[in-house]
A and B are shown apart, each in its own frame.
Chain A
Amino acid sequence: MSTNLRRHWMLQGIASIGECGLFFVAVLGAVPKSLRYWRELARQIWFVGAMSLVIVMTCGLFVGMVLALQLYYTLSIFGGTAALGTVVALSLFRELGPVVTALLVAGRAGTAVTAEIGLMRATDQLDAMSMMAVDPLAYVASPRFLAGLVAMPLLACVFNAMGIFGGHLVGVSWLGLDNGTFWGNMTSTVDLHKDVLDGLYKSVVFGGVVSLIAVFQGYTAPPTSEGVAYSTTRTVVFSSIVILAVDFVMTAFMT
């Protein structure tokens, strides 16, 4: 009876949320110790950030371009195509930049982190580290968590810049909007604090969430090939859900 109750899926879900919270605290506690391994941190920023640049820049360009096309169509119904630059910039900075970057990073870097740590667990590398008096939380988990926290806002900025470039390409070069109108309306409306920085705060939170989920899923992956595969899938699924849910909550508080 009691084991049946304990296996209930709802309780399991709540238990894993609790585990993830405790793991978060443990990772935070290991952060001061992990600064000793700053080379590992630099390598992880390189892996999460620099290696994601190509995909983030390409996607940013295309998102900006399609945004300009779609919004031009919508705005032309109301005769407001002069606002194209403003609308493209605001949708990118406030919403699409942070969210799409986070989803891309979850798919590209989060899965790799989960699989890597999961295989470390499966091949007993984490236990070997503890036996050598190297705290795996400080050497493996914390640097990857911090790397996500640092790399995500920078990637979101690159995404936004490429998106603006793509929007300009379509709006001005292709659809023939006036260059001065495009930039002038944008610069007069977009606010540094309310738009650019709020988007940046969002992406810092997303970076923390994505890397926490990736590291946690890897750390708790069952030490089998099937278990690692499931954990990698769960990283993408949970990251996407949590990103979009947190995005809604943060937007509700910020506006």
Chain B
Amino acid sequence: MNPRPSYAIGTGLFILLGFAALAYLATQTTSVANIHRGNSYLIKARFQNIGQLKERAPVKIAGVRIGDVQSIALEPQRMDALVVMSIDKRYNDIPDDSSAAIFTSGLLGDQYVGIEPGGSPTFLKNGDEMVLTQSAMSIENLIGKFLVNGGPKSSGTDAAPASATPPASGKP
């Protein structure tokens, strides 16, 4: 048995360092928590307009992330968007009369689903659907209404609720 060549130690150290760097990148700089979510349940919500909401967008209650958007699909008959959200099992006591709305984080940030808890004593279960939803605010719609209505006097009051119902006419 001849002695180990000296470069073997260098090679081993290099490979260990490389994998240590990979482990560091994978655990410290990424959202690994999203991938290792084993225990979660699904709830559904229908929106008339989801705006720029994307899959894997966060779902939040009171600003705390409790899950993410799993899939977005168009319901052909009703022509609205079916958003399936996967929620962490730890938060299994969301009242079933809670409402879901699509918000934008910051002025130009990504969109997320915010859940406003209701007061019902029964909780949402796997596969349940949230009935009360509010669509994404579209800045284009707001600006359009503002221009059509011709001034801040009327648009300031009706723009927000009108955007939730797309076929609404511009006039109050």
Question: Do A and B belong to a common assembly?
Answer: yes
- Residues in chain B near residue A186, CB distance under 8 A: 29
A46 and B18 form a contact (CB under 8 A)? no
Contact residues of A with B, CB < 8 Å?
Answer: 39, 42-43, 45-47, 49-50, 53, 89, 93, 150-151, 153-155, 157-158, 160-161, 164, 183, 186-193, 195-196, 200
Cβ-based interface call for B26 (8 A): yes
- Is B29 a contact of A89 with CB atoms below 8 Å? yes
| A154–B22 CB distance below 8 A | yes
Q: A158-B21, A190-B30 are in contact. List 14 more A-B contacts (CB 8 A).
A: A45-B15, A53-B14, A93-B29, A153-B18, A157-B18, A157-B19, A183-B28, A187-B30, A187-B31, A188-B58, A191-B30, A191-B34, A192-B32, A196-B26
- Does B139 have its Cβ within 8 Å of any Cβ on chain A? no
Taken residue by residue from 1 to 36, chain B's Cβ proximity to chain A (1 for < 8 Å, 0 otherwise) reads as: 000010110110111011101101110111110110
Once the chains bind, are B18 and A158 in contact (CB under 8 Å)? yes
CB neighbours (8 Å) of B21 from chain A are: 154, 157-158, 160-161
Q: A46-B10, A49-B11 are in contact. Are A154 and B31 (CB under 8 A)?
A: no
Please, could you name 9 A-B residue pairs with CB atoms under 8 Å apart, sorted by A? Answer: A43-B7, A49-B18, A50-B13, A157-B25, A164-B25, A187-B29, A190-B30, A191-B34, A192-B26
Contact, CB under 8 Å: A164 / B29: yes
Most buried by A among B11, B17, B31: B11
Please classify the interface of chain A as helix (H, G, I), strand (E, B), loop, or mixed, using the class held by over half of its residues: helix
Residue of B nearest to A48 (CB): B14
Given A190-B29, A191-B31, A196-B30, check contact A46 B14 (CB 8 Å).
Answer: yes
Tell me the bound Cα distance from A177 to B15 in angstroms.
Answer: 34
Q: Who on chain A is nearest to B58 by CB?
A: A188
Contacts known (A154-B21, A196-B26); A42 close to B11, Cβ less than 8 A: yes
Minimum C-beta distance from B59 to chain A (A): 13
How far is the CB of B54 from the nearest CB of chain A, in Å? 12
Q: Is the CB of A39 within 8 A of B14?
A: no
Q: Is the CB of A154 within 8 A of B14?
A: yes
Question: Whole-angstrom distance between the alpha carbons of A157 and B24 in the complex?
Answer: 9
**Contact between B15 and A154, CB atoms less than 8 A apart:** yes
Shortest C-beta distance, A150 to chain B (Å), equals: 8
Query: Closest approach, in angstroms, between the C-beta of A43 and any C-beta of chain B?
Result: 5
